[in-house]
Amino acid sequence: MTTKTLRQTLLDARAAKTSAFVPFVMAGDPDMTTSTGILLSLEKSGAAAIELGVPFSDPVADGVTVQQAAERALAAGATLAGVFDMLKQARAQGLAIPVCLFSYLNPIFYMGYDVFARTARDAGAQGALIVDLPPEAAADYLATMKAAGMETVFLCSPTTDPVRLALIDAASTGFVYYVSREGVTGAQTALPTALSEKLADLRAHLTAPLAVGFGISTPAHVAALTGKADAIVVGSALVKTIGEKAADAPAALAAQVKELLAAA
């Protein structure tokens, strides 16, 4: 079975007037074996794609919950090569939905863009979001990813100006990821005011599909945003469950995802 691209997954959701559900989890949390089960459980529970975090020792864009997940994964021996091996195992066990790697630049740069792009592709990833690599500095990365047939994702935020938004749009062959608020990742009780209007404005100006994330954590949030963006990313709320349930996380996440999607 050929895995759909990230871009097509989001475009299909748009055509259906809904939003693709994209969970974020940290690879190797609590360990690589459980991570494989988590990915498979997320797909069975209704995820349209998965954002798979690469553990890093200095995750400056992440809040405490995701930082702790990275620490747990690193303590368990996670490496970038290990993340690739785990994804291969998940594919071998039937994982069919697209996967977007979420990483910081340091481990990618150390491995080398060409090796990273080819190895990630061969492991079963469709694309990557390098959170601290701006499109202005990404020419070599973009060329290498394109040559390997890998999709690229870049971030925009409430403070992104129109000129830079156009640059981000042009660089994003997978989708544009809108950070719904200023600051780091983490669950929040209320969505930003006028978020729906902001998403509508972005969709009117972007050629790439649009995902929204950062702080989305409850069924009510998912219900409020369904159809307003092409994908909804939920991370910290799921990562918190993994931290609490450890080896029992796959079953716990299945129940949590079904609850989130029931509100859509």
Q: Which residues are catalytic?
A: 51, 62
Question: Coil, strand, or helix at residue 177?
Answer: strand
Dihedral of the alpha carbons of 169, 171, 174, 177, in degrees to the nearest 10: -50
Can you name the residues that pair with 233 across neighbouring β-strands? Answer: 22
**Cβ–Cβ < 8 Å for 9, 219:** no
CA angle 212, 213, 218 (to 5 degrees): 110
- Amino acid type, 2: T
CA distance 56 to 73: 9
CA distance 146 to 129: 14
Query: Following DSSP, what letter does each residue of 117-144 receive, concatenated?
Result: HHHHHHHT--EEEETT--GGG-HHHHHH
Dihedral of the alpha carbons of 200, 3, 141, 128, in degrees to the nearest 10: 60
**Cβ–Cβ < 8 Å for 89, 137:** no
